[in-house]
C-alpha cells in the first residue's frame, strides 16, 4: 500500500510526532530525554528550522516546528539516524528505534497553532505524570515561563509569551479544552476521541435536564446526531448507537448538512 502524501503547510508550521518502535519506551530515562533535545539543538547548526514547542515523553516525542518541506524531511531523517545510533549503543541493541516515519499535521491558522502548543505541553498532565505543566522538565512550557530555551529561538519565546500578561495567565491558558484532535499515538488518539464525544454528550444532557441521551425526544436525538456529525471524528454507525436512531437517519442528517 503506497504511503499517503504528507500535507504541505502553507504557513510552514507542522505538528510532528514520532514514537518508539513496538511502543518501546525509547526516552524513558532522563539521559535519553536530554540526548534527543541535544541532538535537535545540534541539527539546527546544519539545517534552518525553528522549534516552537516540544515535549519528550517516555515512548514518543512531540514537536511544533516551522521549516521548509524539504528541510523538515531532512531534519527528521537526521534526528532518526543520530538518535538510533546513540540509543542502540547505550542500550546494546540493534535495528530501528522509531515506529515507521514521523506523523505530521499542517498548522494553517492561529487557533490550531495555539491548540497544538497547548496540547503538546499538556502531554505529561494527560499521562498523569504531573499535575502542573511547569513541573515537567522535558517540555517547552517551562521555557516560555523562564524565557530561556536550548532549542526554541528568542523570536518565538518572546512572541508567544507576549500573548499573556503574566505567568499565571500562560498556565491558565493550558486548562482550556477544545474539540480539535491532535496527532498522537493511536491509543491516545482513541482516548481523545472518546473524551471529546463524551464531553459533547454531557453538555447536551445538562442542557436538556435529562440523565442520559436515551431519554431525549426523537427531535433532540437528531439534534445530538447533527452535533456529532459536525465533529467528524466517529462513524455514522457509532453516532446511530449513541443517539439510538437508525443508521439511515444519521446518513440523511449528514446529507442534509452537506446540502446546506
Boundaries of every domain in the chain: 13-173, 186-259
Residue 52, φ and ψ in degrees, nearest 5: -100, -35
Calculate mean pLDDT across residues 139-167: 92
Per the confidence metrics, is the pTM higher than 0.85?
no
Calculate mean pLDDT across residues 217-239: 87
Q: What is the pLDDT of residue 59?
A: 87
- C-alpha–C-alpha distance, residues 252 and 260, integer Å: 13
Calculate mean pLDDT across residues 39-48: 92
Q: What is the pLDDT of residue 192?
A: 62
- C-alpha–C-alpha distance, residues 189 and 183, integer Å: 7
More confident residue, 233 or 239: 239
> In this structure, which CATH number among 2.60.40.730, 3.40.50.300, 1.20.1050.140, 3.30.70.1290 belongs to the domain 13-173?
3.30.70.1290
- CB-neighbour burial class of residue 111 (10 A; exposed 0-12, middle 13-18, buried 19+): exposed
Amino acid at each position: 500500500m503506497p504511503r499517503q502524501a504528507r500535507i504541505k503547510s502553507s504557513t510552514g508550521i507542522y505538528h510532528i510526532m514520532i514514537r518508539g518502535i513496538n511502543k518501546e519506551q525509547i526516552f524513558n530515562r532522563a539521559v535519553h530525554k536530554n540526548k534527543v533535545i541535544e541532538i535537535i539543538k545540534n541539527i539546527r547548526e546544519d539545517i534552518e528550522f525553528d522549534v516552537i514547542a516540544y515535549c519528550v515523553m517516555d515512548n514518543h516525542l512531540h514537536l511544533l516546528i516551522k521549516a521548509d518541506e524539504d528541510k523538515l524531511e531532512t531534519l527528521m531523517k537526521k534526528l532518526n539516524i543520530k538518535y538510533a545510533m546513540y540509543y542502540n549503543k547505550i542500550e546494546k541493541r540493534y535495528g530501528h528505534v522509531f515506529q515507521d516515519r514521523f506523523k505530521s499535521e499542517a498548522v494553517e491558522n492561529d487557533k490550531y497553532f495555539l491548540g497544538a502548543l497547548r496540547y503538546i505541553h499538556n502531554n505529561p498532565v494527560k499521562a498523569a505524570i504531573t499535575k502542573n505543566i511547569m513541573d515537567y522538565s522535558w517540555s517547552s512550557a517551562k521555557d516560555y515561563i523562564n524565557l530561556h530555551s536550548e532549542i526554541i529561538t528568542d523570536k518565538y519565546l518572546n512572541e508567544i509569551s507576549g500573548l499573556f500578561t503574566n505567568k499565571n495567565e500562560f498556565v491558565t491558558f493550558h486548562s482550556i479544552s477544545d474539540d480539535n484532535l491532535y496527532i498522537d499515538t493511536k491509543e491516545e488518539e482513541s482516548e481523545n476521541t472518546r473524551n471529546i464525544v463524551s464531553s459533547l454528550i454531557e453538555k447536551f444532557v445538562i442542557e436538556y435536564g435529562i440523565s442520559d441521551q436515551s431519554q431525549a425526544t426523537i427531535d433532540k436525538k437528531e439534534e445530538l446526531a447533527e452535533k456529532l456529525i459536525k465533529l467528524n471524528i466517529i462513524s455514522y454507525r457509532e453516532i446511530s448507537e449513541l443517539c439510538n436512531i437508525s443508521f439511515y437517519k444519521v446518513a440523511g442528517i449528514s446529507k442534509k448538512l452537506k446540502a446546506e
